[in-house]
Structure 1
Amino acid sequence: MEDIFVVKRCKKIIIHGRRAGEYDHLPPDAAVWYRIADTRTQGFIGDGYDSEEDAVRVCRQLNAQSQVTARQS
């Protein structure tokens, strides 16, 4: 059975603000974060993860739960 949930790598741009009266501010930082995508609906599950390992762990749990549910049906 094919996995329903997969981990997607997403780009994240961190914009640094500045206070009134400041003229210089830091440039935006490019980073990544990870989201769990549902292959059936193309939607995302949860808020996202900074660590790929955390996203993969949760994704495996979701896929294991969905396979048990499918077998019971």
Structure 2
Amino acid sequence: MRPVTTTWLQTYGDAAFDALNQQAIQIVTTHAAAATDDVRARMRAAFVTSARHELRFFAAPLEQGSPPATWTGA
């Protein structure tokens, strides 16, 4: 694994990242509780779309081989 990738992935195990993630979950949960059914449905659709993009991002190297060294993630 490339050093940049390793450092980036280690972020997920960092306590500060976990704390910010928990804060984001609380913010979304609070807003969802006060939202209309339509807004909650749109929130859910945005989450599902985001999760699909993340899954595709992490699956890409397994499906297509490793990205080229000049790959920027864009």
Q: If each structure's strand is expressed as a fraction of its own residues, which one has the higher value?
A: 1
Tell me the TM-score normalized by structure 2: 0.36
Q: If each structure's helix is expressed as a fraction of its own residues, which one has the higher value?
A: 2
Which structure is richer in relative contact order (CA contacts within 8 A, separation 6 or more)?
A: 1
Structure showing greater radius of gyration is 1
Tell me the TM-score normalized by structure 1: 0.36
